[in-house]
Amino acid sequence: MTQLSKPQRDRVLAQHYGFTDEELDFIINYDIKYRMGKDDGGDNDS
């Protein structure tokens, strides 16, 4: 079985689901921004 890098997997899945480049970019940036704990610089209540 061939191992794909994360960017390659993202492209394959985007093609499978019919995402545009802009939609894929949004998903990747959402993952970075929210899952990795980066925010928009606003106050945090916690």
pLDDT tens for residues 9-26? 989 999 999 999 999 999
Is 36 a member of any domain? no
Domain of 13 in residue numbering reads as 6-31
38 has a pLDDT exceeding 60:
no
Is 13 a member of any domain? yes
Is 17 a member of any domain? yes
pTM exceeds 0.75 = no
Is 25 a member of any domain? yes
User: What is the residue-wise DSSP string for 1-46?
Assistant: -----HHHHHHHHHHHHT--HHHHHHHHHHIIIIIT----S-----
* Structural domains in the chain (count): 1
Is 10 a member of any domain? yes
